[in-house]
Structure 1
Amino acid sequence: MPKITLLQKIYGSNKPEDFQEAFNELFKQLKVKTEICGVTPRGWLQIKLSGEDQKFALNYLQKHFGLCPEKLENLTKFSTIRGRITHLGKSKTQLRVDIGIFKPKNIDAVVPLQNLQAQLLDGKKFALRKIIELFGLAENFPLTVEICGAAQENGTISAVLSEQQISTFSNWTETLLDKLLVFGASLPAVEYAVKKSGYARNVVEIETLGFLEHAVTCKLGTQAVGLIPKMGKLLPAALLTVFSPTKIIKLRG
């Protein structure tokens, strides 16, 4: 089987081979061998499968981790795909999302500011930088978008947030629980940091958003921003942001 490209990025101080053991453990009951081949120029993880159960393993990977479409022809209008935010802060009018299209060239989805305002803030005219701050958005934030246009010559394609993504943000907000979002660290590293920092009693759960992206849900009354000093020291290569439901609700009015 030719190598496949997962919708999972490896970046920062992390290396592709760090995840070989995890794949071995994942498929230890199957007659399949996984071999990590490396990453694409933009960080998407590539692997090879071989063995009797390779088809089953491929279906599992597609369902649970997603596969990069690689080519534009593999996407259609109204397709939904879970990409990663990229080039954050380089535009004041749109959010750019790497959706795993890189053959023969990179094509990113772009979500216009006015759509973000309508979908996330009931149409209130907040600047993009404020939306980024409110929702804890960051480079490599996993974001599910719906394609709604044709590819442009500048290497972009129009999109909006998918219903699934809007639902995720709504559910996070309704809990009223702060989330500390971690980018660039493995789950074991985040679990260790929570325990070592002494914040285990302040945390409800750690939700995995991707191989290197996690949401640490705080207990009611605990502000996620207060976890950053200690957690940051224990995760020096990671980026930490905050999702604050109370701030979102207050600004929505």
Structure 2
Amino acid sequence: MTTLILLTKINADSQLNQISKALDFSFKGLEVETKILGVVADGWVQIALSGEDEGIATNYLIKEVGICPSNFGNVKKFSTLKGYIKNIGKNGAILSVDVGVFQPKIGYATIELRRLQAQLVDGEKIAIRKIAELFGLCEYLPVNVKVTGLNEEKSRIDAELSSKQIRKYMVWRESLLDRLLVLGSSLHEVKATIEHAKLERDVIDVEPLGLLEHALTCKLGTDAAGLIPKIGRTLRNAKFAVFNPKTLRDFLNT
């Protein structure tokens, strides 16, 4: 049996069932049994794998989902980590990201405002909450960060957005297409909801950001915010955020 702590967070126990179904779908055709053991620390999902193909399933999860570093000592300077936004501007002008470090105590990756300004808005002196609004940054959104400094005594991880994350925002920005970020629902639920709401013409792509997080690409002319009531009727426990490239461009060009 293999026990893993996935780089997947939940904010409600009901989401464990969604995780279980998503894993069963991913392992369809494999001789492997998946058991959800619960959550550790601040919502990280712990599972157990057993069966003839548990090695294949384990390698798949390591590559496609990720495994928590767990211990501070496993984090290396200049490494790239996946995490979930914990808070924005609550402890000063910083973005805190939970990257799965909770031993010997919880340590968040922190990105200072001036670094966000340099990476996202060409160094413009824009408030952190405005940057979050423009880029759809919100709690429980998965992001990739690069470690720039470590202080084990203080469990401090200094970071910046990774080059991969920056490239994603550049692609989104240049596409001129709205994106609706859906957090807390499985890919199957999201696609079924789009079909049920007859939004296939408005949503041209669903990009998974995590097991329960997805970016819905809207066709040109479709307002992502306008889809929230239609999708929210079915995905009642989901959280939503919007990335609007036109709003971003207009703001930065004023």
Mapped contact 2:193–2:231 kept (Cα < 8 A) = yes
1 CA distance for matches of 2:20 and 2:104?
A: 28
Letter of the aligned partner of 2:29 in structure 1?
A: Q
Q: Is the Cα contact below 8 Å between 2:88 and 2:94 reproduced in 1?
A: no
Distance 1:92 1:27 in 2: 43
| Secondary structure of residue in 2 paired with 1:57 | helix
The answer as to whether partners of 2:80 and 2:146 remain within 8 angstroms in 1 is yes
- 1:246 and 1:233 map into 2 onto residues whose CA distance is 27
> Structure 1 vs Structure 2: percent identity of aligned residues?
46
**For residues 154-183 of structure 1, what are the alpha-carbon distances to aligned partners after superposition, in whole Å with 9 as ceiling and x for unaligned?**
543100010000001111111100001111
Residue matched to 1:193: 193
Q: What's the TM-score, normalizing by structure 2?
A: 0.93
Provide the secondary structure at the position in 2 that maps to 1:97.
strand
Structure 1 residue 28 displacement after superposition: 3.6
1:61-94 deviations in Å (ceiling 9; x for gaps):
1100011000111111001011000023413410
Task: Give the number of aligned pairs.
Answer: 253
CA distance in 2: counterparts of 1:31 and 1:189, whole angstroms: 25
Q: What is the aligned partner in structure 2 of residue 94 from structure 1?
A: 94
Is 1:210 the counterpart of 2:210 in the alignment?
Answer: yes
Structure 2 runs not aligned, ≥5 long: none
Q: 1:187 to 1:198 in 2, by over 3 A?
A: same
Give per-residue Cα distances to partners, 1:94-116, cap 9 Å, x unaligned: 00000000112100000000000
Q: Which amino acid aligns with 1:64?
A: E
User: Which residue number in structure 1 is paired with residue 112 of structure 2?
Assistant: 112
Deviations 1:197-230 (A, max 9, x none): 3322111111111121111110001111111222
What is the CA distance between 1:25 and its match in structure 2? 3.4
Q: Give 1:14 deviation, angstroms.
A: 2.8
Deviation digits for residues 16-58 of structure 1, max 9, x if unmatched?
Answer: 2333233233224333322211111311111112233322221
Corresponding position of 2:73:
73
Aligned match of 1:137:
137
Moved more, 134-143 or 82-91: 82-91
Report the TM-score, using the length of structure 1 for normalisation. 0.93
Which residue number in structure 1 is paired with residue 243 of structure 2?
243
Kept in 2: contact 1:92–1:129 (CA 8 A): no
Shift of 1:251: 2.5
Q: Could you say which residue in structure 2 is the equivalent of 1:10?
A: 10
Equivalence for 2:52? 52
Q: Matches of 1:233 and 1:85 in 2, distance apart?
A: 25
Mapped partners of 1:89, 1:111: distance in 2 = 10
Which residue does 1:38 correspond to in 2? 38
Task: Extract unaligned runs of 5+ from structure 1.
Answer: none
Question: Structure 1 residues 211 and 152, CA, compared in 2 at 3 Å: closer, same or farther?
Answer: same
User: Is the partner of 2:14 in helix, strand or coil?
Assistant: coil
Indicate the RMSD between aligned Cα atoms, in angstroms. Answer: 1.7
Question: What amino acid is aligned across from residue 229 of structure 1 in structure 2?
Answer: P
